[in-house]
Structure 1
Amino acid sequence: MSNRSKKTVRLTVSLDQKDYAAVAAVADQHDASLSWVIRQAIHNFVHRADVELQASRRISEATVIQDLKN
């Protein structure tokens, strides 16, 4: 069974031919659908952006604490 939530939202995306060909090649390599590849890419992008945001916040908080100590 899929890890995805049962509730989904439909999204339409336009790609240039080069990106479409790249996504299709990845889908072929993984014996997966284009939709699966796009969902994985979005999931990975959002996760990476969240990790970077959290790291940035920790750095900012550490800087504020250090400034308060000085």
Structure 2
Amino acid sequence: MTIEEIGTVIRERRKLLGITQPDLAEMAQVSINTLYKLERGEFNPSVKILNQLAEVLGLELSLGLKKTDR
């Protein structure tokens, strides 16, 4: 998933839940500037920040193995 795609998922989920950017930033304990840049695909967040946002938004982070041609 690209940074832009992550930002889109967070923005769409936030809007679906009817949460404003300032409210989400406060609930997830991240700066409004961080959230703004993340939603626009201009910020590469740490796993900690992603976890904080995912917790508030009811999202789940997961890692998987890429399929290879071997």
Same fold (TM over 0.5): no
Given the two structures, how large is their TM-score scaled by the length of structure 2?
0.31
Given the two structures, how large is their TM-score scaled by the length of structure 1?
0.31
Q: Which has the higher helix share?
A: 1
